[in-house]
Amino acid sequence: MTFTLIMALFSPHASDQGEARPPTEEPAQEATFDLENLKGAGLVASMKFTDEELAQLMPAAIDRIAHYEGMRSHSIENSVAPAFSFRPLESSPTFGDRTLATVDPLPEVKRPEDLRDLLWAEIPTLAALVKSKQVSCVELAELFLNRLQEIDPILHCVISYTEERALNQAKALDAELAEGKWRGFLHGIPYGVKDLCAVKGTKTSWGAMPYKDQVIEVDAAVVQKLDAAGAVLVAKTTLGALAMGDVWYGGKTLSPWNTERGSSGSSAGSASAVGAGALPFAIGSETLGSIVSPSRRCGNSSLRPTFGRVSRYGAMALSWSMDKLGPICRSLQDTALVLDAIEGADGLDLDCVDHSFESPGATSIEGWKIGYSAKVFDNSENHGHVLDQLKGLGAKLVEVDLPDYPVWPMMVILFAESACAFDELTRSNRDDELVEQGPQAWPNSFRAARLIPAVEYIRAQRLRTLLMRDTAQALAGVDAFVAPAGDFHSLGITNLTGHPSLVAPCGFAENQMPRAITFIGHPYDEARLIALGSAWQAVTDYHEKRPTLEAYVEEKERD
């Protein structure tokens, strides 16, 4: 056991000896590795050894260093996943099934005199206008392309436009409508995709300077599925470099609600553009808050699906056992329409599974049981009204305490996997090209992850198994769990367990920034979760509030 623990610590050269050579270069002079190095490695692992034990370990350590170098001679693309899988633990709620209404019919709407009135329209409204041919797919594509070009100089939310692709697709979809073919709710609806998803004919930069000219000639699975549903891709949106924060190689993405504040990350551009009325919906990703956090900052209604519900094929890997893709929208009902198009296994992402899903319609939640932590809400004076609103809908509030686990220490899972995903970047020294440098930035995080013993990574995964069991037990008696969107304990736990989560605005601070609430559901139970969130949202109007950007737009135009 001690041998395995210590061997996992060693990179070919300690950081003070410089980085290892690229495999194609001539061998560099080997760094000296002695008993003092071995003692230091033991201290990192909280282990002490006798002189005799050190003497026994030394030859094995030197052999392992050579073995690691041999493995590194094989370059591995970011898209190659490890040979293991993660599955959320399916819950067994104690209250039985709930009857959900079927999806609501399209509303009866008329074309507005000014098409800009549709910048804030939800998907069913746009779908009704498209299906009735009152508004063409080309008109919608041009409308949102123009809006993006209008607000991007202010918010810095677009990495690249896909205008030619979008207009060609929109023309073909209009031709289908002329022949009586309508693909469904997303037919002709423009959208954006976070630029960690590959799209043929575009650069896929991952928001990072070392990859800003990278071309991956495949369409990500989520793009393929949205193409099939008739959605029209108009832009690739910004993300914090390598899916952290809102700072990318071209600047910092801002919130449409307060342009002195960043949009948070890492689905920065997707959230900012939707919040600014520049996209009806966009695709984001989350490993640890990257849909919830920017949606909170930008006033979006969004869904982080169950881990494995949506294929990540063609998307940058950060943490293979935690990454998730999901929709960032105007309303919680809209998330169901997008999820319906993108969910399901494809045989390419081996963690992705098939699980039944049907978009719910307007459903009464009278008698539903909603879990909450009294302690968390007592410490959050700006979210308690949501509990009152749920009571007003007939829901029963049940005090629930999520299990007490060392959630932040367990994030060695994320740090170890992300460091492995970008090990070649670190070892080539090209991490110096990332805009963000410092103790909390990726370059230092990747280097620090070299000090995570393999045994501690596996220990965290074993704790994760227990956490899944205990969380399932804690939530067995409720339909869902509600928490302020800024509550890290629930956010961290449910990203580790793979539970789905909705996030939506529930008020505004004095600085005009939105406040947000999350609804957490059982694994693969998005239909009930969305029905609950939509029922609450139907009696509120927070998601209908609009940021005021026109003054900034006019100022930019004058400049």
- State pLDDT tens for residues 280-338: 999 999 999 999 999 999 999 999 999 999 999 999 999 999 999 999 999 999 999 99
Do 69 and 137 lie in one domain? The reply is no
pLDDT of residue 13 exceeding 70, the answer is no
Report the pLDDT averaged over residues 171-190: 98
Instruction: Give dist(CA 427, CA 447) in Å, integer.
Output: 9
Question: So what's the pLDDT on residue 25?
Answer: 40
Instruction: Give dist(CA 450, CA 453) in Å, integer.
Output: 8
**Residue 88 forms part of a structural domain:** no
pLDDT of residue 417 exceeding 70, the answer is yes
Do 53 and 151 lie in one domain? The reply is no
Looking at every residue in the chain, the average pLDDT score rounds to 92
Q: Which domain holds residue 21?
A: 1-75
Report the pLDDT averaged over residues 434-448: 93
**Residue 414 forms part of a structural domain:** no
Do 384 and 483 lie in one domain? The reply is yes
Do 184 and 70 lie in one domain? The reply is no
pLDDT of residue 252 exceeding 60, the answer is yes
Instruction: Give dist(CA 557, CA 554) in Å, integer.
Output: 5
List of residues 6+ apart from 279 with CB closer than 8 A: 144, 148, 190, 191, 192, 234, 235, 237, 270, 273
Element of type H or E holding 370? strand 369-372
Q: How buried is 250 (Cβ within 10 angstroms: 0-12 exposed, 13-18 middle, 19+ buried)?
A: middle
What's at 352, amino acid-wise?
Answer: C
Do 68 and 127 lie in one domain? The reply is no
- Centroid of chain to Cα 381: 28
Q: Which residues of 420-437 are buried (b: 16+ CB within 10 A; e: fewer)?
A: bbbbbbbbeebbebbbbe
Do 15 and 164 lie in one domain? The reply is no
Question: So what's the pLDDT on residue 68?
Answer: 84
Do 121 and 184 lie in one domain? The reply is yes
**Residue 489 forms part of a structural domain:** yes
**Residue 197 forms part of a structural domain:** yes
Q: Give 78-120 pLDDT, tens digit per residue.
A: 999 898 889 999 988 887 778 999 999 999 999 999 999 999 9
Do 400 and 511 lie in one domain? The reply is yes
Most confident among 30-34, 330-334, 454-458 (mean pLDDT):
330-334
Do 67 and 163 lie in one domain? The reply is no
Question: So what's the pLDDT on residue 3?
Answer: 30
Among 349, 255, 298, 358, smallest CA distance to 504 is for 298
pLDDT of residue 348 exceeding 80, the answer is yes
Question: So what's the pLDDT on residue 191?
Answer: 99
Max Cα separation, the chain? 86
275 conformational bin, left if phi > 0, alpha if psi -120 to 50, beta if neither: alpha
**Residue 136 forms part of a structural domain:** yes
Instruction: Give dist(CA 550, CA 71) in Å, integer.
Output: 55
Instruction: Give dist(CA 343, CA 345) in Å, integer.
Output: 7
Confidence tier at 6 by pLDDT (50, 70, 90):
very low
pLDDT of residue 223 exceeding 90, the answer is yes
Report the pLDDT averaged over residues 242-255: 98
Instruction: Give dist(CA 148, CA 175) in Å, integer.
Output: 25
Confidence tier at 56 by pLDDT (50, 70, 90):
confident
Pairing of strands 480-484, 396-399: unpaired
Report the pLDDT averaged over residues 161-175: 98
Element of type H or E holding 519? strand 514-520
**Domain CATH code at residue 303:** 3.90.1300.10
Question: So what's the pLDDT on residue 30?
Answer: 52
Do 121 and 61 lie in one domain? The reply is no
Question: What global pTM score does this model have?
Answer: 0.91
Do 172 and 49 lie in one domain? The reply is no
Instruction: Give the whole-number percent of the chain exceeding pLDDT 70.
Output: 93
CB-CB contact of 371 with 478 (8 Å):
yes
With H, G, I as helix, E, B as strand and everything else as coil, classify residue 221.
helix
Do 527 and 401 lie in one domain? The reply is yes
Question: So what's the pLDDT on residue 559?
Answer: 66
Q: Give me the residue label for tokens 């890492």.
A: 266
Instruction: Give dist(CA 469, CA 458) in Å, integer.
Output: 17
Q: Give 107-161 pLDDT, tens digit per residue.
A: 999 999 999 999 999 999 999 999 999 999 999 999 999 999 999 999 999 999 9
Count of domains in the chain?
2
